[in-house]
Copies of this chain bind each other. A is one copy, B any other.
Amino acid sequence: MHQIVGRASVSLEEGVYIVNSASVVGTKEGQGPLGHLFDRVGSDDLFDCNTWEEAESALQKEAVYMALKKAGKKPEEIQMLFAGDLLGQSIASSFGLKQFEIPHMGIYGACSTCGASMMMGTMAIEGGFAHQAVCVTSSHFASAEKEFRFPLEYGNQRPLSATWTVTGSGAFVLSGEHRKGDRAKITGFTMGMITDFGIKDSMNMGACMAPAAASTIERHLKDFQRDPGDYDKIITGDLGKVGQTILLDLLREKGYDIADVHMDCGIEIYDGDTQDTHAGGSGCGCSAVTLSAYILKQIEEKYWKKVLFVPTGALLSKTSFNEGQSVPGVAHALVIENI
């Protein structure tokens, strides 16, 4: 049972269960503050592959394999797979997941893809179209720099507003039936709108995405008639330090002070003082691996009862950037609770 509480805002009565999940990351993420929590840390960032793109596919494959194993499920028990990544034509997903032979829906929401894919998975299960679904996303520092900015060999300088793309993949097994051992449940969502404040700086993704996060969080709180204090945490994906400041300011202007409960996965995943990551982490993998390794753990262990998880995406391409276009943002919100 569920009800529409606002435009693209849906409240679920029982909820959809996150049966289990897995996180696979690169070396830098393994050395960060959350390093000990990830399921697998690669010994190098190539994951035994020949190209960065293949390595990113390998991350997704490994994350789905581990999530299914931890959930005690076989690929053939999954009806639908919702997947996406940052690369052109989402090739990390296409090539990483074809071997599982699960009906496949490609999702694109830049770094908001973790939220987008889990929202579609929630709709598929809650709506009675699938019994079990897998949602997965990834990013890779080297494939993303190649896709969006400069070849690594060029050794370009990065301004302090830049974020570091997380090498990692997070996969989640969702189910409509509650079993002992399920990690958490999804009890609502708000689908985001594309929001564009006209910012054109591809080295300041936080500023590009903060308006979208503010828009989605504001709509969510209004639609659900909730205050920021109703959540133990309101968690954005990868705004970083610059984007966080803008988000808090924008929401204050709207009458919401979320400073006490705000957390950003991009700020948590690296130690900014020692890891040279500047404003923080970013990429589809950033919120996905943080959700799997840290956020769900905090919920399971009842440190947090209910959080609003809001992955944020910057809708940038090298083509649109080189043609002088702005970088619009999008953010999708999921309510995740302990069981």
* A190 cross-chain contacts in B, Cβ below 8 A: 103
Most buried by B among A103, A119, A193: A103
CB distance from A139 to the nearest CB of B (A): 13
Q: How many of chain A's residues have a CB under 8 angstroms from any CB in B?
A: 61
Kindly identify, within residues 245 to 291 of chain A, every residue whose CB is under 8 Å from any CB belonging to chain B. none
Q: Which of B79, B107, B131, B319 contacts A107 (CB 8 A)?
A: B107
CA distance A119 to B192 in the complex (A): 19
A4 touching B319 by the CB < 8 A rule?
A: no
CA distance A109 to B106 in the complex (A): 6
Kindly identify, within residues 100 to 159 of chain A, every residue whose CB is under 8 Å from any CB belonging to chain B. 101-110, 116, 119-120, 123-124, 126-131, 147
A191 touching B127 by the CB < 8 A rule?
A: no
* A109 cross-chain contacts in B, Cβ below 8 A: 105-106
Chain A interface secondary structure, helix, strand, loop or mixed?
mixed
* A76 cross-chain contacts in B, Cβ below 8 A: 7
A89 touching B315 by the CB < 8 A rule?
A: yes
- Beta-carbon contacts of A63-83 to B below 8 Å, as 1s and 0s? 000000000000010011000
CA distance A252 to B97 in the complex (A): 28
CA distance A4 to B129 in the complex (A): 6
- Beta-carbon contacts of A180-199 to B below 8 Å, as 1s and 0s? 00000000001111111000
CA distance A103 to B8 in the complex (A): 7
* A94 cross-chain contacts in B, Cβ below 8 A: 194, 315, 320, 328, 330
A88 touching B88 by the CB < 8 A rule?
A: yes
* A90 cross-chain contacts in B, Cβ below 8 A: 108, 315
Knowing A127-B128, A129-B10, say if A191 contacts B91 (CB, 8 Å).
Answer: no
* A4 cross-chain contacts in B, Cβ below 8 A: 79, 128-131
Name A94's closest neighbour in chain B (CB-CB): B315
Most buried by B among A80, A119, A126, A127: A127
CB distance from A79 to the nearest CB of B (A): 5
B328 touching A98 by the CB < 8 A rule?
A: yes
Knowing A98-B194, A191-B104, say if A317 contacts B91 (CB, 8 Å).
Answer: yes
* A87 cross-chain contacts in B, Cβ below 8 A: 88, 317, 319
Kindly identify, within residues 291 to 319 of chain A, every residue whose CB is under 8 Å from any CB belonging to chain B. 315-319
CA distance A51 to B105 in the complex (A): 30
* A54 cross-chain contacts in B, Cβ below 8 A: 323
Instruction: Check A240 for interface membership: any CB of B closer than 8 A.
Output: no
**Ranked 7 nearest A-B pairs via Cβ:** A127-B127, A88-B88, A8-B103, A106-B108, A89-B317, A103-B191, A98-B194
A→B interface (CB under 8 Å):
2, 4, 7-8, 10, 51, 53-54, 76, 79-80, 84, 86-91, 94-95, 97-98, 101-110, 116, 119-120, 123-124, 126-131, 147, 190-196, 315-320, 323, 325, 328, 330
Q: List 29 A-B contacts (CB under 8 A).
A: A2-B128, A4-B130, A7-B103, A8-B103, A8-B129, A53-B319, A84-B108, A87-B317, A87-B319, A88-B317, A88-B319, A91-B315, A91-B320, A91-B325, A94-B320, A98-B196, A98-B328, A101-B193, A104-B193, A105-B109, A105-B116, A105-B120, A106-B109, A107-B108, A108-B108, A123-B123, A123-B127, A126-B129, A127-B128
